[in-house]
Amino acid sequence: MALLFLFVGLICTAVREGAEAMLKSRAKDLERGIREVLQDRQGTGITASFYNHPLIFSLFSGDYDPSKLKADGRGDLYMPREDRAHLPSYIPALNFAGALLDMAARGRNSGEASATPADQPMTAESLRESVRLIGNEKLQRVVLAALDSAEGDLARAKANLATWYDGTMDRVSGWYKRRTQKILFVLGLAVAVVLNVDAITVAQRLNGDKPLRDAVVGQAANVVREAGGDLDALQAKWYQQVRARLDAIGYPIGWVSGVPA
C-alpha cells in the first residue's frame, strides 16, 4: 500500500512541477510579494528600481516592466504568464538585503546624488545620511531599525534585513503551498480515476492473496534498492519499469478493456 501511495504521489508531483515550469506561478507569487514588501503595489516605484539593481537583474533575463501588470477579479495586480516567464522564481535573502542597502545609500537610480558615491565604500554613517533616497518612509524605518539593532555594524544590519525578508517571504510561500495543495488534491483524484487506483480493493486483494502480497513486497524492495533513495529515480522507474512489473504480478490497479483490472 505504501508503494502504491508513494508512486501516485510522485505522479501528481511530477505533473505539478511540469505545470509550474509552464505557468511560472512561483515567479508570479515572488513578484507580488516583492511589491508588497517594498510597499509599492503598482510596481512603478522602488520595485522597478529593485529589479533593475545589479544584484537582482543578474538573476534573470529580460526586463521588469510594471506596465504589464493586470488586475484579477479581486482587483489585485499580477504579472501575466507571458510577461513573468523570464522573472526569477527565487531571490536570495542576502541579494535582497544588499540591493536594499545599496539603494538606501546611493539612491534608486545611478548617478543620483547621495552621501555615498558609487566609487566609495558604504558606511553606517553615510547610510543614515542617504536613507531618505529610498523614497519610502516605511522602508526607511526598516533600514534604520536594522542599523540600530546592529549597533552600526553593516554586516549585522544586512543580516537583519535578510532575516526580515525571509520572514515576509514565508507569506509568499504560503500562497504557493495553499494553491499547490488544492492542485495536488484534484490531480490525486484524476490519477486515481485514470489508473483505477482503488485502495480498498488493493488492500483486500493483498490481505487475501499471500503470493501476490509477497510478490509486491519483493518488487517494492527492488525498486527502493535500485533507486537508492533518489525520488527522481523512483519517478523514472514508475514510468519506465514499475507499472509493467506490477501488471506482471497481477497488482489490482488500472483498467482492462474499459473495466477495472
pLDDT for 161? 94
- Pick the range with the lowest mean pLDDT from 30-34, 48-52, 102-106: 102-106
Phi-psi domain of 18 (left: phi exceeds 0; alpha: psi -120 through 50; beta: other): alpha
What's the CA gap between 154 and 145, in Å, rounded?
12
**Residue 252 and residue 261 in contact, taking contact as beta carbons nearer than 8 Å:** yes
Residues 6 or more apart whose Cβ sits within 8 Å of residue 256: none
**Residue 195 and residue 253 in contact, taking contact as beta carbons nearer than 8 Å:** yes
How does strand 77-78 pair with strand 70-71?
antiparallel
Residues 6 or more apart whose Cβ sits within 8 Å of residue 177: none
Average per-residue pLDDT for the chain: 80
Task: pLDDT band for 10, please (50, 70, 90 cuts).
Answer: confident
Alpha helices (H) along the chain? 2-23, 25-37, 46-51, 54-57, 81-84, 93-106, 124-130, 137-149, 154-194, 199-208, 210-227, 231-237, 243-248
258 has pLDDT over 50: no
pLDDT for 246? 58
Residues 51-65, mean pLDDT to the nearest whole number = 91
* Segment 109-161, tens digit of pLDDT: 765 555 566 667 888 888 888 888 888 888 999 999 999 999 889 999 999 99
Task: pLDDT band for 257, please (50, 70, 90 cuts).
Answer: very low
Q: Is the pTM of this model over 0.85?
A: no
- Domain extents in the chain: 2-19+179-260, 26-172
Return the percentage of the chain with pLDDT > 90, whole number.
28
**Residue 116 and residue 52 in contact, taking contact as beta carbons nearer than 8 Å:** no
Joined together, the cell numbers standing for residue 85 give 516567464
What's the CA gap between 58 and 70, in Å, rounded?
25
Task: pLDDT band for 91, please (50, 70, 90 cuts).
Answer: very high
pLDDT for 254? 59
* Segment 165-218, tens digit of pLDDT: 998 888 888 887 888 888 888 888 887 777 777 777 777 777 777 877 777 777
Residues 81-110, mean pLDDT to the nearest whole number = 89
Task: pLDDT band for 19, please (50, 70, 90 cuts).
Answer: confident
pLDDT for 22? 79
